[in-house]
Amino acid sequence: MPVTVTVPATTANLGPGFDCLGLALSLHNTVVLEITPGGLTVLVEGEGVGALPVDESNLVVRAIKRLFAFCGRPVPGLHITLRNRIPVASGLGGSAAAVLGGLLAANHFLDQPLPLDDILTLATGMEGHPDNVAPALYGGLVLVNEHDGRLLVEPVRVPPLRAVVVLPDVDLPTLEARAILPAKVPLADAVFNAGRAALLVHALSQGDYDKLSVAMQDRVHQPYRIPLIPGMPQAFTAAMDAGAAGVALSGAGPSVVAFAAGSHQTIAEAMVRTFAAKGLDSRVWILEVDTAGSSVRCD
């Protein structure tokens, strides 16, 4: 009997929470896995058709194989259907969703399934950092740190929030966006970000929009990444002028995320016009917070 795994999109960093803060959003990828006598079949529907590989290099397949290898189990035949709504290479956690989808689907077929803590550790090992996989797994706003080889996960309860996500048509691979970052940051910038990140967690947990314009400021990664995306500085300004309470790159970009109490469509349209002035088309989503995280069900 096939298993179906649904994983939400995520927006990581949220400005100052570099590599340690992420929020799950109401946009989802679905992995349907069926064990077969032999062979591999991968079908892609929705986002990534024609772009994502359908062989053993597919990230979902790699995650499935990783879990079976970790548990000392041979890899069986696999029939996989990927129903994707998260855009590829968008800064919305598509790779984290793929990794978790594969791991959770394979875990279902173990006689003694691994606990979620182990799934998170494996997913982080494949991703390289936990700020997308933790909220995608558990849902909501998640603060996560590494200590002595362990991941310390702290869910943060938030009230209902709506996020405006705008994705300009720019090719910005995550590896390129990470490579541009300096190896060291000035002490003043580290102090700035520590204070802003603490304020951001408080503001989101309280739904305090008045503090978000300050709380979402960042000096560690956005000053280096924003220039890679034409029109992004102007899009930030346009979003704030249109009523956004706070705005940031979503993950490494090129998506931008803005929070507001209202006027969400107006904020989105303002950013779209800004990118259009630079010759870029954009896509828009207005999303709720996903509080459920990843789910597994048998069809």
Q: pLDDT per residue over 104-145, tens digit each?
A: 999 999 988 999 999 999 999 999 999 999 999 999 999 999
155-165 mean pLDDT: 96
Assess whether pLDDT exceeds 80 at residue 82. Answer: yes
The encoded tokens of residue 134 equal: 């933790």
Give the CA angle between residues 51, 52, 58 to the nearest 5°: 160
175-182 mean pLDDT: 87
pLDDT at residue 178 in the model: 86
**pLDDT band at 173, cuts 50/70/90?**
confident
The encoded tokens of residue 128 equal: 């390289």
Assess whether pLDDT exceeds 80 at residue 299. Answer: no
For β-strands 77-84 and 40-46, DSSP reports them as: parallel
pLDDT at residue 258 in the model: 98
For the chain, give the percent of residues with pLDDT over 90.
Answer: 93
The set of residues, in sequence order, having a beta carbon less than 8 Å from that of 16 and lying 6+ positions away, is: 192, 193, 194, 196, 197, 200, 215, 216, 217, 218, 219, 220
pLDDT at residue 75 in the model: 94
Assess whether pLDDT exceeds 90 at residue 38. Answer: no
**pLDDT band at 175, cuts 50/70/90?**
confident
Q: How many other CB atoms sit within 10 Å of the CB of residue 66?
A: 19
Per-residue pLDDT tens for 216-246?
999 999 999 999 999 999 999 999 999 999 9
**pLDDT band at 176, cuts 50/70/90?**
confident
pLDDT at residue 110 in the model: 92
Cα–chain center distance at 140: 12
Query: Distance between CA atoms of 55 and 49, rounded to whole angstroms?
Result: 13
Question: In terms of Cα–Cα distance, which of 229, 95, 228, 224 is closest to 168?
Answer: 229
Work out the end-to-end distance of the chain between its first and last CA atoms, rounded to an integer number of angstroms.
7
Residue count of the chain: 299
User: The pTM is what?
Assistant: 0.95
Cα–chain center distance at 38: 33
Question: In terms of Cα–Cα distance, which of 55, 48, 60, 44 is closest to 101?
Answer: 60
pLDDT at residue 111 in the model: 85
Question: Which amino acid, 117?
Answer: D
Assess whether pLDDT exceeds 90 at residue 103. Answer: yes
Query: Distance between CA atoms of 290 and 25, rounded to whole angstroms?
Result: 5
pLDDT at residue 244 in the model: 98
- Cβ(101)–Cβ(31) under 8 Å? yes
- Cβ(73)–Cβ(35) under 8 Å? no
